[in-house]
Amino acid sequence: MSFINHQPLLSAHNVSFSYPASKNPVLTDISLDLYPGEILILAGPSGSGKSSLLYALSGLVPRSIPGTIRGTISLAGKDLSSIPNWEISKTLSLVLQEPEDQFFTMQVEDELAFGPENHGLQDQKIIKRTYQAAQSTGAESLISRPLHTLSEGQKQRVAIAANLTLKPKILLFDEPTSNLDEHSTARFYELIKALSREENRAIILCEHRLHGPCQYADRLVILQDGRLQYDGSPQILQNSSILKKWGLREETQALDFGSHFWEDRIPPAPILSLDHISFRFGRKENFFFTMGNFSAEKGEVIALFGENGVGKTTFLRLLAGLLTPTEGKILLQGEQVHRIPKKRRSRIVRLVLQNTDHQLFMPTVLSELTFCGDHQKALQLLDQFNLTSLENRHPHSLSVGEKQRLTIAAALIYDPRVLLLDEPTSGMDGANINRLIQVLKEYKKQGMTIVIASHDMTLIRAMCNRGIKIKA
């Protein structure tokens, strides 16, 4: 589709941006035009400035996010810096990475009505827009539900619907599929295509997983070190050397669930085993988890699959002894895992959860590793994970991908017998996924048992001997 005959809706000209504490600019001389009806994919390795560019294009910098911005951004022909935020929200919406973080109310209906209420629309108009937005996103059935009862995919839909109620001409998404399973991701892209067609909306998707969205995209923009490296057709991604050059994720086909890979097998000398366990969160909660049998032997890498909300994280927490099964036993080296004293258990089995912010406790990257571990080993791990240059940085100032590598390194410093990883690559680029695979393969050779809950087929194909699919 050709867009050049149209006036650009959003236009950036020689935009450079730097955060107050940073010496180097995070964006340098970015020029970009976005046309009505266009779907643009914004890609690049971790820390390349994708999110910062979205914040700049949405007018959040420097008003909500402090920093120095140069160059001009115009929205529908007007200088963005001269338009107040509330007026920008009529034309442009930004959907942030974590849907839950942006919810302002407790009920889906209230959340959808929040934007129109802020704009002082009349009751009938608010109700009409609320239902229209819910219909466009397939969230009609959720409208009367409390937000905390929704799955990740459903929350994502509500977050989009909440932004659609203002009828924006431009929608910006910051890594919208990083927490979604394959099925929800496919539905999400279908929705994006429909939203683009619906009112000739322009859409920018900032993504790590590129092959899904690129089937629907009109244009691909690649950033590296804050500079625009490529602006053109997404067809370029068919060349794998290009992906490697820019550190992007490679395409991996979905796995065949009927193949030998998925054959159920009971290892002769399992390090970790369970037999018919069940678990329930308190008496009030509806969530109920059951599992038949499962065992893992030394040096095995097992993949854990399932749609969002089926209980993969709960299962990992049970394996780590952080939760106690309501029925049944989980044995780690012959002992019930939740009965092993915490200090000893923390050295045998390590769990790395998806949200890294909850797992970083110290003021520097190095001290995060030396917190409970050996200094030499810490330096070695920093080198293995390419974090040496960041050893004096505050862990919370790192990018998502860097934090993920650091939390995995912090788990490996204990040399655990069992390592449990929950979506370890959701914020990583292609180069870092390959690095992680290499490191984990070394530990696998040394006999470490690894269980990985992930939607990332590159990681699973490269690492896992067996897979378990958890069903709802």
Partner 1 sequence: MQFEQTANCTIIDPRAKMAGLILFCLLSFFLHTVPVLLAYLSIPIIFLIFLKPSGRFFTKMEIGAGLFLSACILLYFWARAQCPIHLDGIASARAIVRVFIFTGSGLIFMLTTSSSRFILGLEKLHLPPPLIFVLAIAIRFFPHLLQEMELISNNLQGRGIGFYQWLRHPVYSGRAFIFPVVIRAIKKADTLAMAATMRGFGAPIPRTCRQKLTISTPDYLFLISLLIIGLIFFYCDRYAYLKWGM
Query: Which residues contribute to the site for partner 1 (CB under 8 A)?
Result: 58, 60, 63-65, 85-86, 88-90, 93-94, 96, 98, 101-107, 110, 113-123, 126-127, 146-148, 162-163, 166, 281-282, 284-285, 320, 322, 342-343, 346-347, 350-351, 353, 355, 357-363, 371-372, 396, 410
Shortest Cβ 430–partner 1 spacing (Å)? 27
User: Looking at beta carbons only, is 297 or 402 nearer to partner 1?
Assistant: 402
> Which residue type does 166 have?
L
> Which residue type does 212 have?
G
Shortest Cβ 313–partner 1 spacing (Å)? 11
User: Looking at beta carbons only, is 130 or 273 nearer to partner 1?
Assistant: 130
User: Looking at beta carbons only, is 5 or 122 nearer to partner 1?
Assistant: 122
Write the CB contacts of 244 (distance below 8 Å, at least 6 apart in sequence). 250, 430, 431
Shortest Cβ 322–partner 1 spacing (Å)? 6
Write the CB contacts of 62 (distance below 8 Å, at least 6 apart in sequence). 68, 69
Q: Which of 361, 373, 404, 359 is nearest to 386 (CA)?
A: 404
Shortest Cβ 93–partner 1 spacing (Å)? 6
Tokens of residue 207, six digits: 């993504």
User: How many Å separate Cα 309 from the centre of its chain?
Assistant: 15
C-alpha 424/C-alpha 417 separation (Å) is 18
Shortest Cβ 278–partner 1 spacing (Å)? 18
User: Looking at beta carbons only, is 249 or 403 nearer to partner 1?
Assistant: 403
Shortest Cβ 351–partner 1 spacing (Å)? 6
User: Looking at beta carbons only, is 243 or 351 nearer to partner 1?
Assistant: 351
User: How many Å separate Cα 322 from the centre of its chain?
Assistant: 24
User: Looking at beta carbons only, is 75 or 147 nearer to partner 1?
Assistant: 147
User: Looking at beta carbons only, is 365 or 410 nearer to partner 1?
Assistant: 410
User: Looking at beta carbons only, is 127 or 255 nearer to partner 1?
Assistant: 127
Shortest Cβ 106–partner 1 spacing (Å)? 5
Shortest Cβ 292–partner 1 spacing (Å)? 25
Shortest Cβ 287–partner 1 spacing (Å)? 9
User: Looking at beta carbons only, is 260 or 342 nearer to partner 1?
Assistant: 342
